[in-house]
Amino acid sequence: VTQTPKFQVLKTGQSMTLQCAQDMNHEYMSWYRQDPGLGLRQIYYSMNVEVTDKGDVPEGYKVSRKEKRNFPLILESPSPNQTSLYFCASIVLEIYEQYFGPGTRLTVT
Amino acid sequence: GENVEQHPSTLSVQEGDSAVIKCTYSDSASNYFPWYKQELGKGPQLIIDIRSNVGEKKDQRIAVTLNKTAKHFSLHITETQPEDSAVYFCAASRYTGGFKTIFGAGTRLFVKA
């Protein structure tokens, strides 16, 4: 699983797309944010191309899944409370195993 | 909402000692309980998992136990080594109405040489 960029600093309201790609042909993918003391929280997940659903903290985010390989996370008008470490995961649904990318550290000022 | 509580938040042990991390979950529909190790600057990596139809699983120095009645599960690391130092996360997953995973807040493990 690959994620780009590795680091990003944005100003409030400056839109951004975090990229995630997997080469394992998995149907399921998911986005998480990691904040100190809170662990990882699920933002959105996708069951297949054009099929997505909200996780526990979807506010302020959008996703799209136009092809199986890619699952971008869109921040249309980011705010400082979206400063976080973001992880994408690709999932083998039959056995529930998740493979995480290296993360994107995002700072919104 | 559903949650997973993880204790302790920090654990310091001497090399060679055992380390135990405990988690409690609230969603009774959860049926898959993975443990992840996260090293600095990296994504979480699965180290062991257990499913709801199993009470215990072992893989070399690592073992996990599950008490579904009490909604508790624990990670046991024996003969700890300095390279075990990392942040460990427990999680509870289910596939009912979509694939959902709730993570614990994490335990920072220090193994002193």
User: Within 10 Å of residue A29's Cβ, how many Cβ atoms?
Assistant: 29
- How high is the pLDDT of residue B54? 82
Lowest mean pLDDT among A64-73, B3-12, B97-106: B97-106
pLDDT-based confidence at A22, cuts 50/70/90?
A: very high
Distances (CA, A) of A80 to A1, A103, A107, B73: 27, 18, 7, 35
Query: Does residue A43 register a pLDDT over 80?
Result: yes
A47 Rama class: left (phi>0) / alpha (psi -120 to 50) / beta: alpha
Average pLDDT over residues A41-46: 94
Average pLDDT, chain B: 94
- How high is the pLDDT of residue B74? 98
Chain-chain contact of B43 with A102 (C-beta, under 8 angstroms): yes
Average pLDDT over residues A35-47: 92
Determine the distance in angstroms separating the CA of B61 from the nearest CA of chain A, rounded to an integer.
21
Chain B contact for A38, CB < 8 A? Answer: yes
Q: Which residues of B touch A1 (CB under 8 A)?
A: 43
State both tokens at B68. Answer: 């579904």
Chain A contact for B27, CB < 8 A? Answer: no
SS3 for B6-39 is EECCEEEEECCCCEEEEEEECCCCCCEEEEEEEC
- Indicate if the alpha-carbon torsion angle B85, B65, B54, A29 is positive or negative: negative
Query: Does residue B1 register a pLDDT over 80?
Result: no
Chain-chain contact of B101 with A42 (C-beta, under 8 angstroms): yes
Q: Which residues of A touch B98 (CB under 8 A)?
A: 45, 47, 53
Instruction: Enumerate residues 6+ apart whose C-beta is below 8 A from B80.
Output: B13, B14, B15, B16, B17, B18, B19, B61, B109, B111
